[in-house]
Structure 1
């Protein structure tokens, strides 16, 4: 049975592995731990839940409070990732429902997210749980 709970520092290795295997972000465990420490100190801005089965972390969702001058506040999902061995079991849906519950509890107007253009399976998943794409855009990045 899947349990959804707040992320803890003891989850770092599992999160790092999921980021590498499921999302393709191969960063060091040290960076994962450093980022977790920074993000966990501000639970009003960063909301991070893990999905656990039999005390094994099998997925996570990370959202942040999205506040802009052109919109009412909402939550912005930065990552949703499930261990490849646990996909297609409704875990992503449970994690997204928990984020939606937080948004509702905080009286926020929506949950938004971006998904890479090539992640067609993810797009189908988000559509299946009620999300729709409302625009096309490009991301620009400048390494400093």
Structure 2
């Protein structure tokens, strides 16, 4: 594990990132690895926003994991800043290796460094393994989420 680097994602990482996003039943329905244009636009927007952090985990010059960390200043909770972890994906070859834990720990530490008082994330209701993983890391299922497609 010592050869792992967690760094900001760059354009050349997109095929690997999108491949991981699409590599499960839910992602296969909503991602388009054959058309990277919308992902290029999105990464540009993310990269120019100081509150957005799209990172990749790289081992031996190969992208093996990714997540997005968003920092949100707010008024609630006495003006607390919170972070949201999204899009956590680990390459199939690396699942079970501890890489997911390392990525989440990086996100928690970065949240502390940015003076966040709360870290939150969502996970699709069908991802029971992910729920157990997050609970092992100390996260608690505390809210019911809602989405409205636009």
The alignment status of 1:40 with 2:47, answered yes or no, reads yes
Select between 25-34 and 75-84 the one with higher mean Cα deviation: 25-34
Q: In the TM superposition, what is the alpha-carbon distance from 1:142 to its structure 2 partner?
A: 3.6
Normalising to structure 1: TM-score of the pair? 0.90
Map of 2:108 onto structure 1: 100
Map of 2:97 onto structure 1: 89
Normalising to structure 2: TM-score of the pair? 0.86
Q: In the TM superposition, what is the alpha-carbon distance from 1:136 to its structure 2 partner?
A: 2.4
**CA RMSD, aligned part only?**
1.5
Q: In the TM superposition, what is the alpha-carbon distance from 1:67 to its structure 2 partner?
A: 3.2
1:34-91 deviations in whole A, cap 9, x for unaligned?
111111111x210122111110101101011123432311111121111112111111
In structure 1, the gaps of 5 or more residues are none
Map of 1:2 onto structure 2: 4
Where do 4+ consecutive residues of structure 1 move more than 2 Å? 66-71
Determine the C-alpha separation between the residues in 2 that align with 1:97 and 1:115. 17
3-state DSSP class of the match of 2:23?
A: helix
Aligned pair partner of 1:140 in 124, 130, 147:
147
Determine the C-alpha separation between the residues in 2 that align with 1:51 and 1:77. 15
Aligned residues: 141
